[in-house]
Chains A and B, each alone.
Chain A
Amino acid sequence: MANQNLYKGSLQTIILKLLSENEKMYGYEITQKVKEITKGKLTITEGALYPTLHKLEAQGLLSVEVKEVSNRLRKYYKLTESGIEETNQKLLELENFIQTITTLINPKIA
């Protein structure tokens, strides 16, 4: 498993990106999707996922919808209009960051 600390600062961007590719998702689904895409290299912990989702919701970047599924209530998150804009902005920032790190650790490639 990769060093989880390296991913911490990108958690919001990862969640926003996933939601931009799926109409709506619930918490557990997000953890499983990340595990599946990264083939288990990255695990989003429960203690980090929900605080981030609640923060994004409070910022108005996510809206929520609740449905009854298999005997229980399920809370789905989806991007709002400003959430879509923020996702693009954050992805751009992340790309720039990756570029900068690449330049730092391997100047020849850059």
Chain B
Amino acid sequence: MKKITKEHIEILYKFTREHFVEHFDVQTELVDHLANDIEIQWQKNPNLTFEQAKLNAFKKFGVFGFMDVYGARQGALQKKYLKILWHHAKDWLKLPKIIATFILYYFLYTGLKRYDDTFALIILGFIISFGLIKHILLLKKVKKRQKISGKKWLLEDLIFKGMFLGGITGVNLFNIINLASPENYDVLWSLVYALIFTILIIYIYVGTMVLPPKAEALLIETYPEYKLA
């Protein structure tokens, strides 16, 4: 009986890349699926060429090809990433870190109350600048990692590029503050904005400073194939 060879496997990995699946973890599952399907087709029709069997197997994924599978995997891992982020962020709501959180919150509250919009825009400008600089540095780092290993992992991309979401949130907040905030911050406005800024600072800190150094451990924990690859 005809069997899939190592060379065929390489071709199948290339085929998934050509169909917009660039992450090794998703590719691996698809490659095994295609390989199984091709071998079953060969059992019934040994004269079928590898290319034809490959296309037959791919057609079964429907008009959107691998996109449904890829999208679902991305969604599942985004949820996982947010869970990991929350797991580390909640440390800042427990002793001893909650003391630092409270000091930060109080600093932001008094600053907003005393200096109003000017303070809000300076703080936000600082958060966005810090976030963007870290984002660029992390992008460089992940590109280097992926160049060395020759493989991209979906969770790895989320860990190193997840900041993008923070950047967008920051820019939106900047607009909201520009358009919707009052000239003078009373107690309620100051409390609300101080809370939003505190959450944003913790989110960006955990996303850019805490998680990326733990990337290796998180990838090993998430992907049983990480060490085999």
Partner of B33, one of A28, A55, A70: A28
Q: Is A72 among interface residues, defined by CB-CB distance under 8 A?
A: yes
Task: Indicate which residue in B3, B40, B79 contacts A70 across the interface (CB closer than 8 Å).
Answer: B3
Q: Could you count the A-B residue pairs with CB atoms below 8 Å apart for me: how many are there? A: 82
Is the Cβ of A73 less than 8 Å from the Cβ of B225?
Answer: yes
A21 sits at the interface (CB 8 A):
no
Judge whether A75 and B28 touch: CB under 8 Å: yes
Any A CB within 8 A of the CB of B228 = yes
**B72–A71 contact, CB under 8 A?**
no
Given known A28-B36, A71-B5, contact A47–B62 (CB-CB < 8 A): yes
Count contacts on A: residues with CB < 8 A to the other chain: 26
Report the nearest B residue to A71, measured CB to CB. B6
A66 to B29, CA, bound (A): 10
Given contacts A28-B36, A72-B31, contact A46 B72 (CB under 8 A): no
Which of chain B's residues 21-37 have a Cβ closer than 8 Å to chain A? Answer: 28-29, 31-33, 35-37
Interface: B150 (CB within 8 A): no
B51 in the interface, Cβ–Cβ < 8 Å? Answer: no
Roughly how many angstroms separate A45 CA and B35 CA in the complex, as a whole number?
16
The residues of B that contact A70 with a CB separation of less than 8 Å are: 3-4, 35
9-residue interface stretch from A12-20, A57-65, A90-98: A57-65
* B229 surroundings in chain A (CB, below 8 A): 73
28 A-B interface contacts by CB (under 8 A): A27-B33, A28-B33, A45-B61, A46-B33, A46-B60, A46-B62, A46-B69, A48-B68, A50-B29, A50-B68, A50-B72, A50-B73, A51-B71, A54-B69, A54-B72, A57-B76, A58-B76, A65-B224, A66-B28, A66-B228, A69-B32, A70-B3, A71-B6, A71-B9, A73-B31, A73-B225, A73-B228, A73-B229
